[in-house]
Amino acid sequence: MCGKITARRRQSGMTLPEMMFTLMVGSILGAAVLSFSLYAGKSFAALTNYVDLEQKSQNALDNMTREVRQVNRVLSFGTTTLRGQVITNTITFEDSDGANLTYTFTGDVLVRNKAGVNRVVLTNCDYLTFQVFQRNPIAGAWDQWSTTVATNTKLISVSWVCSRNILGNRMNTESVQTAKVVIRKE
């Protein structure tokens, strides 16, 4: 009789406390795996986003500096502000072929316009500014002197900050992308 009871206990299933303990441990492990997966996915998305953002920003800067070096002169520049915040930032050049070349920053987009054809150069911009400087007025001095007259402009400085949203959070801000470009023909 003692042998029948032992055999019956070996065949029986799990007890309620054993099942509850197993479910609890499984739930904790499942939550840990899920949380790690979400973290890894967000990190991968952030890394991919940063690489793409940096590449587009660098391409925009390279193309823009190449074009600005070849222009004949600056025709105009200016900003429009509303409540102390820059709304539009524009600079217009006379290109080497005599046509107007304009870069306009509005909202979060930098647009290039030449001969009436608009092309988006950069998106997701939080901030963009153009600064203009004149020739060195003192012989042997290398400081840049800001100017308010377009025809005196020899050096253009462009700076921007870009960022994107990942899962509803603003992330991957580039500190600042900056270039100082000397107009060769001026």
- Tell me: the pLDDT tens digits for 140-155? 767 777 888 888 888 8
Find all residues with CB under 8 Å of 61, minimum gap 6, and list them. 158, 177, 179
Q: Is the pLDDT of residue 79 over 90?
A: no
Phi, psi of 142 (to 5 degrees): -115, 5
- The C-alpha angle 57, 179, 147, rounded to 5 degrees, equals 135
Q: Is the pLDDT of residue 171 over 80?
A: no
Strand 169-171 to strand 177-182: parallel, antiparallel, or no bridges (unpaired)? unpaired
**pTM recorded for the entire structure:** 0.72
Four-CA torsion 115, 61, 177, 111, nearest 10 degrees: 20
